Amino acid sequence: MAVISPLSSGFGLWGPLFWVLAFAIAFIIAFAIWSLGTASYKKGTEQGRPYLSGNPEPEKGAVHIRAGNLYWGYTEGLKGYYDRIVPLHTGIMTDYLLWIFWVTGILLILVVVI
Amino acid sequence: MTWEVITSNLPALLVAVPLFAAFLCPLVGRISPGMRASWVFGAMVLTAAIAYILAFIVYSQGTVIYVFGATTPDLSVPIDSGGIPIRIMFTVDAMSALMEIIAVTVGLGVLLYSLSSDERRSGLENYYTIFLLMIAAVLGMVSTGDLFNFFVFLEISSLASAGLIAYRVEKGVAVEAGLKYLMVSTIAGIFFLFAIGILYGQYNALNMAILAERIQWTPLDKIALVLMVAALATKCGSVPLHFWTPDAYSMAPAAVTAMLVVASQASLYGLFRISFTLYGVALSYVTIGWVIIILGVLSMVVGVTMAIPQKDIKRLMAYHAVSQTGYMLLGVGVGLAVLGDQALLNSYGYTAMEGGIFHIMNHALYKGLLFLTAGAIIYRIGTSDLNRMGGLGHRMKYTMVFFMIGSLAIAGIPPFNGFASKFLIYESVFLFSPVLAIIAMVVSILTLASFVKVFHSVFMGPPLPEHDKVSEVPFPMLAAMGFLAILVIISGLFPQVFIQNLIVPAVHALTNQAGYLGTVLGGA
Amino acid sequence: MFWNLPYIAVVLLTIIGIATILLKKNLIKMFLGVSILTSAVNLFLIVLGYRDSGIAPIYTYAPSELMVLPTPQALCLTSIVIGVATSALMLSFAVVIYRYYGTVNVDEIRELKE
Residues B142/B265, Cβ–Cβ less than 8 Å: no
To the nearest 10°, the Cα dihedral for B407, B408, B413, B418? -60
Using 50, 70 and 90 to split pLDDT, how confident is the model at B172? confident
Q: Residue B14 and residue B143: Cα distance in Å, rounded?
A: 9
To the nearest 10°, the Cα dihedral for B454, B460, B466, B467? 90
Q: Residue B26 and residue B12: Cα distance in Å, rounded?
A: 23
- DSSP collapsed to 3 states, chain C: CHHHHHHHHHHHHHHHHHHHHHHCCEHHHHHHHHHHHHHHHHHHHHHHCCCCCCECCCCCCCCCCCECCCHHHHHHHHHHHHHHHHHHHHHHHHHHHHHHHCCCEHHHCCCCCC
C-alpha distance from residue B160 to each of B310, B375, B433, C78 (Å):
28, 20, 40, 17
Interchain contact B118–C (C-beta under 8 A): no
Please compute the mean of the pLDDT values over residues B164-178 and round it to a whole number: 88
Chain A residues inside the 8 Å CB shell of C107 = 92
With CB atoms and an 8 Å threshold, state whether B175 touches C100. Answer: yes
Collect all residues with Cβ–Cβ distance below 8 Å to A21 and sequence separation of at least 6.
Answer: none
According to DSSP, the β-strands at A7-8 and A13-14 are antiparallel
Say whether pLDDT at B237 is over 50. yes
Q: Which amino acid is at B135?
A: I
Q: Residue B307 and residue B41: Cα distance in Å, rounded?
A: 34
Q: What pLDDT does B1 receive?
A: 65
In a mutational test of the B interface, the residue from C15, C77, C112 whose CB has the highest number of chain B CBs within 10 Å is: C112
Of B65-79, B175-189, C62-76, the one with minimum mean pLDDT is B65-79
> ∠ CA(B118), CA(B121), CA(B122), 5° rounding?
135
With CB atoms and an 8 Å threshold, state whether C112 touches A101. Answer: no
Please compute the mean of the pLDDT values over residues A88-113 and round it to a whole number: 89
Burial environment of residue B391 by CB neighbours within 10 A (0 to 12, 13 to 18, 19 or more)? buried
Q: What pLDDT does A1 receive?
A: 56
Collect all residues with Cβ–Cβ distance below 8 Å to B396 and sequence separation of at least 6.
Answer: B376, B377, B380, B459, B470, B471, B472, B473
Q: Residue B89 and residue B516: Cα distance in Å, rounded?
A: 13
Using 50, 70 and 90 to split pLDDT, how confident is the model at A19? confident
Residues C55/C67, Cβ–Cβ less than 8 Å: yes
Residue B215: CA count within 13 A, CB half-sphere: 32
**Domain boundaries, given as residue ranges, for chain B:** 1-281+516-524, 284-493
Question: Is the pTM here over 0.80, yes or no?
Answer: yes
According to DSSP, the β-strands at A7-8 and B89-92 are unpaired
Task: Please report how the helices B285-307 and B434-459 are oriented relative to each other, as an axis angle in degrees rounded to 10.
Answer: 30
With CB atoms and an 8 Å threshold, state whether A64 touches B461. Answer: yes
Q: What pLDDT does B523 receive?
A: 56
Q: Residue B376 and residue B122: Cα distance in Å, rounded?
A: 19
Instruction: Give the B window 209-248 contacts with C, CB below 8 Å.
Output: 246-247
Q: What pLDDT does A10 receive?
A: 66
Sign of the Cα torsion C25, C27, C28, C32 reads positive
Say whether pLDDT at A9 is over 70. no
With CB atoms and an 8 Å threshold, state whether C114 touches A87. Answer: yes
Q: What pLDDT does B524 receive?
A: 43
Residues B398/B326, Cβ–Cβ less than 8 Å: no
Q: Residue B309 and residue A70: Cα distance in Å, rounded?
A: 9
With CB atoms and an 8 Å threshold, state whether C93 touches B175. Answer: yes
Using 50, 70 and 90 to split pLDDT, how confident is the model at B9? confident
DSSP assignments along B149-174, one per residue? HHHHHHHHHHHHHHHHHTSS-STTHH
Using 50, 70 and 90 to split pLDDT, how confident is the model at B513? confident
Using 50, 70 and 90 to split pLDDT, how confident is the model at B99? very high
* A66 → closest Cβ in B387, B496, B500: B387
Interchain contact B189–C (C-beta under 8 A): yes
- In eight-state DSSP terms, residue B82 is T
Greatest distance between any 2 Cα atoms in chain C: 63
Q: Residue B227 and residue B219: Cα distance in Å, rounded?
A: 12
- Residue B32's SS3 state is coil
Burial environment of residue C64 by CB neighbours within 10 A (0 to 12, 13 to 18, 19 or more)? exposed
Q: Residue C55 and residue B301: Cα distance in Å, rounded?
A: 56
| pLDDT single digits (tens) B245-274 | 998 999 898 889 999 999 999 999 999 999
- Residue B89's SS3 state is strand
Residue B2: CA count within 13 A, CB half-sphere: 0
Chain B residues inside the 8 Å CB shell of A67 = 311, 386-387, 389, 453-454, 457
Give the ipTM of the model, two decimals please: 0.95
Q: Residue A110 and residue B5: Cα distance in Å, rounded?
A: 51
| pLDDT single digits (tens) A40-83 | 777 767 666 777 787 777 777 777 777 777 888 888 888 888 88
H or E, element range at A70 = none
Q: Residue B126 and residue B166: Cα distance in Å, rounded?
A: 12
Region class of B223: left (phi > 0), else alpha (psi between -120 and 50), else beta: alpha
With CB atoms and an 8 Å threshold, state whether A111 touches B244. Answer: no
Say whether pLDDT at A8 is over 90. no
Using 50, 70 and 90 to split pLDDT, how confident is the model at A3? low
Q: What pLDDT does C114 receive?
A: 67
| pLDDT single digits (tens) A34-45 | 888 877 777 767
Q: Residue A27 and residue B509: Cα distance in Å, rounded?
A: 43
- Domains, chain C, ordered by start: 2-108 (1.10.287.3510)
What B506-509 contacts at long range (C-beta under 8 Å, 24+ apart), as own/partner pairs, is B506/B94, B506/B95, B506/B97, B506/B98, B506/B357, B507/B95, B507/B335, B507/B350, B507/B353, B507/B354, B507/B357, B508/B94, B508/B350, B509/B63, B509/B93, B509/B94, B509/B95
SS percent in chain B: helix, strand, coil, step 5: 80, 0, 20
Average pLDDT over chain B, rounded to whole? 89
> ∠ CA(B13), CA(B15), CA(B21), 5° rounding?
90
Burial environment of residue C96 by CB neighbours within 10 A (0 to 12, 13 to 18, 19 or more)? middle
Q: How far apart are the first and last CA of chain B?
A: 22
| pLDDT single digits (tens) B353-387 | 989 999 999 999 999 999 999 999 998 888 888 88
Please compute the mean of the pLDDT values over residues B308-331 and round it to a whole number: 91
Q: What pLDDT does B21 receive?
A: 94
Collect all residues with Cβ–Cβ distance below 8 Å to A111 and sequence separation of at least 6.
Answer: B222, B225, B226, B284, B287, B288, B291
Using 50, 70 and 90 to split pLDDT, how confident is the model at C97? very high
Closest residue by Cα to residue B71 from B51, B55, B54, B87: B87
Chain C residues inside the 8 Å CB shell of B183 = 30, 34, 90
